[in-house]
Structure 1
Amino acid sequence: MRLYGKQWTRREIEARVGSVAQIGGVRRLTLTEGKEAGTEVIEVRTGAGLSFEIIPSKGMDISLAQLWGTPISWQASNGNAHPAFYEPEGTGWLRTASGGLLMTCGLAHAGSPSQDETGSYGLHGRVHHTPARNVCIREEWVGDELEWSVSGIVEETAIFGSKLRLTRELSGKLGDNRIAIRDKVENFGFRPAEHMMLYHFNFGFPLLGEWTEIRLPEADREVRADGGGAALESSVSWEAPNPDAEETVFYHSLRREAVDEKGMAKATIVQPEFPTAGGTRATEVSLSWSADTLPLLVQWRMPGAGEHVLGLEPSNCRVEGRESERLRGGLFVLEPGQSVNYRLELNVD
Structure 2
Amino acid sequence: MPLDDPSGIGWLDGFDELLVRCGLRSFGAPDFDDRGRLLYPLHGRIGNLPADNIQVELDQQTGSLVISGDVYETRFLVYNLRLRAEYRLTLGQPIIALKDRVTNLASVPASMQMLYHINFGQPVLSGGARLHLAAPQIVARDVRARADIETWATYLPPTSGYSEQVYFSQPPSDTQGWAHTLLTDGQSSRGVAVRFKSDNLPCFTQWKNTASEADGYVTGLEPGTGFPNPRSFEQTQGRVVELKAGECRDFEIEIEGVSQAGRIAQQISAIQRLQGDRPPRLLPSRPDWCG
Query: Does the Cα contact within 8 Å between 1:317 and 1:325 map onto a contact in 2?
Result: yes
**Are residues 1:91 and 2:9 paired?**
yes
What's the TM-score, normalizing by structure 1? 0.68
> Which of 320, 338, 349 matches 2:229?
320
Query: Does the Cα contact within 8 Å between 2:24 and 2:114 map onto a contact in 1?
Result: yes
Distance (Å, rounded) in 2 between the aligned partners of 1:216 and 1:88: 36
Structure 2 CA distance for partners of 1:123 and 1:226, relative to 1, 3 Å: farther
Letter in 2 for 1:95: D
- 1:1-349 aligned within 5 A: 85-89=1-5, 90-97=8-15, 99-115=16-32, 120-142=39-61, 145-254=62-171, 258-271=172-185, 273=187, 282-305=189-212, 306-329=215-238, 331-349=240-258
What's the TM-score, normalizing by structure 2? 0.81
Query: Does the Cα contact within 8 Å between 2:126 and 2:186 map onto a contact in 1?
Result: no
Secondary structure in 2 matching 1:195 = strand
What do the CA deviations read for 1:251-271 (whole angstroms, capped 9, x no partner)? 0122xxx31121000100112
The share of aligned pairs that are identical, in percent, is: 29
Q: CA deviation at 1:232?
A: 2.5
- The number of residue pairs the alignment matches comes to 251
> Structure 2, unaligned stretches of length 5 or more?
259-291
Q: Looking at CA atoms only, which structure, 1 or 2, has the larger radius of gyration?
A: 1
Structure 2 CA distance for partners of 1:273 and 1:225, relative to 1, 3 Å: closer
Q: CA deviation at 1:130?
A: 0.3
Secondary structure in 1 matching 2:60 = strand
Query: Does the Cα contact within 8 Å between 1:86 and 1:129 map onto a contact in 2?
Result: no
Structure 2 CA distance for partners of 1:219 and 1:100, relative to 1, 3 Å: farther
Query: Does the Cα contact within 8 Å between 1:111 and 1:125 map onto a contact in 2?
Result: yes
What CA RMSD, in Å, does the superposition of the two structures yield over aligned residues?
1.8
Select the structure with the greater relative contact order (CA < 8 A; seq sep ≥ 6). 2
Structure 2 CA distance for partners of 1:272 and 1:309, relative to 1, 3 Å: closer
Q: CA deviation at 1:101?
A: 1.2
Q: CA deviation at 1:151?
A: 0.5
Structure 2 CA distance for partners of 1:156 and 1:251, relative to 1, 3 Å: same
